[in-house]
Structure 1
Amino acid sequence: MMTLTEKWKMEGLQQGLQQGIIEGLKESILYTIELKFGSIPNDFKEKLNNISDANRLKEIQKKVVFANNLDEIVVE
């Protein structure tokens, strides 16, 4: 059985891993956009940075891969 301290440590690690996944997805999205389309508007970056749902970021990442231009990628 876990002690309360061990449980807190595990929860902290899980939160840290989730945050790392989210930040990694954001970096990947921005990197892919730069490769495909060049510069990225600041408002796009700001909207992307406000997203904290990994599944939503994965949807955006898929859109980036298949988009023909930046206007096809909607970030809200």
Structure 2
Amino acid sequence: MTRYTTTDVLICGAGVTGLTLAIELARHGVSFRLIEKRTTPFIGSRGKGIQPRTQEIFEDLGILNKVVAAGGSIPDYEPTV
């Protein structure tokens, strides 16, 4: 049996952008469906820091402290030329 549902927004990808959009849509009562092709979370880093504007957005969403707490520090290194 096929079941159809209606939603306002389809979000493709559960990365930072997709999840941030999902939080914001939920805050505004907009229905959405979030789909992700990966079956397991990505392990590793895709960025080495959080930009100031991103920090402002995360603060507004109420998640900045949790994101910072879940992160790690960047090891010291000496750049080579």
Provide TM-score, normalisation by structure 1. 0.24
Greater relative CO, 1 or 2 (CA 8 Å, sep 6+): 1
User: Counting strand residues as a fraction of each chain, which structure ranks higher?
Assistant: 2
Structure (1 or 2) with the larger CA radius of gyration: 2
TM-score (norm 2): 0.23
Structure with the higher fraction of residues in helix conformation: 1
